[in-house]
Amino acid sequence: MRLTSLIFFVLFCSIQLTSHADEATSAEDSSEADVRDAVVKVHVSQRSPDFIRPWTKGRSRQTSGSGAVISENRILTNAHVVLYADRVHVQGNQSSKRTLAEIVAVAPAMDLALLKVKDESFFEDKPALEISGDLPRLKDTINVYGFPIGGEQMSVTEGIVSRIECTRLAYSGVGLRLQIDAALNPGNSGGPAIADGKIAGLAFSTITTADNIGYVIAAEELTRFLNSINADGEYAGKPAVYDGTQTTENEVLREWLKLDDDQGGLLVTSPYDPDGPLKELDVITKLGDHEIDRKGYVQVTEDLKLSFQYLVPHLAKEGKVPVTVIRDGTETTLEIRVHADREMLIPVLAGNYPSYFIHGPILFTTPSQEFLKGLRAATMTLAGMESPLVTRSVERPKPGEELVMIG
Catalytic positions, please? 80, 111, 189
Residue closest to 204 by CA, chosen among 260, 255, 146: 146
Residues near 334 by Cβ (< 8 Å), separated by ≥ 6? 277, 278, 322, 323, 324, 325
The residue ranges of DSSP E strands in 185-342, in sequence order, are 192-195, 198-206, 214-218, 244-247, 266-270, 283-287, 290-291, 297-301, 304-307, 320-327, 330-337
Distance separating alpha carbons of residues 251 and 165, to the nearest angstrom: 26
Residues near 130 by Cβ (< 8 Å), separated by ≥ 6? 70, 71, 197, 198, 199
Residue closest to 79 by CA, chosen among 40, 106, 45: 106
Instruction: Report the DSSP pairing between strands 85-92 and 39-46.
Output: antiparallel
Residue closest to 57 by CA, chosen among 403, 405, 359, 354: 354
Please list the alpha-helical segments (H only) found in 197-269: 219-227, 251-257
Residue closest to 78 by CA, chosen among 208, 217, 252, 273: 217
Three-state DSSP class for residue 188: coil
DSSP 119-142: -GGGGTT-PPPPBPSSPPPTT-EE
168, exposed or middle or buried, with CB in 10 Å at 0-12, 13-18, 19+? middle
Rounded to the nearest angstrom, the gap between the alpha carbon of residue 47 and the centroid of all alpha carbons in its chain is 23
